[in-house]
Amino acid sequence: MTDLLVSVRDDSEFDIAVAAGVAIIDFKEPSRGALAAVEPAIWQSAAKRLPHLHANDAPHRTRPLLSAALGEPEDWQAVIRRLPDAFQFAKIGPSGIDTAREMKRLWGEAALHLGATTELVAVAYADFEAAHCLSPAEIFQLAGQSGFRRCLVDTFTKDGRSTTDHLSYAGLRELGEIASQASMRWAMAGSLRLEIVDDLETQGILPDCYAVRGDVCQHDRAGNLSPLRLQQWVDRVSLPSRKR
């Protein structure tokens, strides 16, 4: 079954995502870039409130997992120690990292600061030239060699172009194959729309998780979360894939 990750920026959006039954709720501040962190107080509030919210709003559903964006290589150290242990996932953008040695060093340093219950997710950027970093295939391969269990491909530049505008179907299939061979789950983000999911399924490209922000918001990724658009995504991702 395909998971749905939805990025939220505050308590009110978190409440909406819990009520909708989103599988993975991710925290990031969309006005400050691809993977900018929210204020740590928002993480702490979510960790504290989730058991109560879930019991009241969605007791028949599996409790959502929590994820946090920690920023880019120059950002994460300022916030990582304040991430609650209740968060299952954390991710750091790879911008500016163009060698395997630097990438492995970043991952190793970040992992030292995460609690035993929080898993670091390897992130690649589809528009890697703009991010001045390793390509998605290089990062996925390195993540597999380094023992990662999850990886994500996203876009660094938020200009409305999607991951599919930067990577061909063949390139996306390659990422899926790399992930499968390394027993990793892979997620796809980057200005996704529902019609892109349909196109990917037609091509036999089946990420383990879709990660969205802009298409579940009013107007764009900087707007407020739309309960209606969010429910459309929840319903769509819950359907069996035509190619599975």
Helix/strand/coil for 211: strand
DSSP code for 86 = T
Q: Which residues are catalytic?
A: 28, 91
Distance from C-alpha of 204 to C-alpha of 175, rounded to nearest angstrom: 13
First to last CA, the chain: 9
CA–CA separation, 99 vs 102, rounded Å? 5
Which of 75, 65, 67 shows the shortest CA–CA distance to 32? Answer: 75
Q: Contact, 90 vs 80, CB < 8 A?
A: yes
8 DSSP β-pair partners: 27
